Amino acid sequence: MSIDSLHKLDGGLVDRLRLFNLNAFHKFAPVLLGYTMDMPFAFGRIPFEPHPSDVFLVGVMGSGITMLTQVAHGLRSKGDMSFDDINEVVPWFHAAQICGQDLDALQPYKPRLFKTHQLHEKLPEDAKFVVLFRDPRKIFLTRYRRYCNSSWTDYARVPRGAISLENFAVGIFGHESGNEVWKFIRLFLAFEDLVEQPEDQIRRIGKFISPHGRLSEDVLTVAQNQSTRKFMQEHISQFDDHFVLKHLKPFEEVPLEFMNLKLGVHAAVL
């Protein structure tokens, strides 16, 4: 479907949401496309030399990447919750620059963790990767709730629920993308397994990201307890991405206390 045709969907609301999203994420564009004002990035990759122990947490938006991030951070930190937003301690790789974070800096705990939604071709060649999968139907519904029936929708000045599932699919996902085969050290996870078999899956993650291949039972228990849906919803302000969103133009004038009420945006994604 052409961009012009979007004007006709749901009275133009699909196009309004599309333009809002483009405006919200325009600061990411130079990084994701692989260039800055000074120097293009080689092959679209950010100039970055990973440590051998660095771990990238990879999943598309809506796959449950926030929960995976909390699990991995809990495992390496023994449950340290002394952060305001989890993106402060586990940098969102392609947003770190606009958030004033130095990707090369040491992190409070080892291994260094980085969260990303990007394809293999945009990521460093030498690193560890935990790749999260989820039923694509659930991902679609999660994205629909986030963009079409939450406070994100309010920011876009689109009535909640006014955009149909069908038109959201046409207007937002009407494109194709590809990826190369993952050739690196990797751990593949399914979100459903992480939710239904948390003890086994968290143990797998711990063994994979630990430089020594092992973690104590106490650490594994803390990571499991602090990554439940109930726990994360009780601490929702630490997982609502406000650390990143406040740098995006549409949110610059939103009061902080209002930003912290975005329960509808993320609760369904955890």
95 falls within a domain: yes
CA angle 66, 70, 76 (to 5 degrees): 145
Q: What is each CA distance from 5 to 2, 12, 94, 168, 172, in whole angstroms?
A: 5, 9, 31, 13, 13
User: What is the model's pLDDT at position 83?
Assistant: 97
43 falls within a domain: no
| Structural domains of the chain, count | 1
41 falls within a domain: no
Domain limits for position 233? 4-36+50-172+182-266
Instruction: For residue 246, give the CATH number of its domain.
Output: 3.40.50.300
152-200: pLDDT as tens digits: 899 889 999 998 888 888 766 554 444 444 444 678 899 999 999 999 9
* 188, β-bridge pairs: 131
221-263: pLDDT as tens digits: 999 999 999 999 999 999 988 888 888 877 766 555 555 544 3
42 falls within a domain: no
User: What is the model's pLDDT at position 107?
Assistant: 97
99-152: pLDDT as tens digits: 999 999 999 999 999 999 887 777 887 889 999 999 989 998 998 998 899 888
User: What is the model's pLDDT at position 169?
Assistant: 82
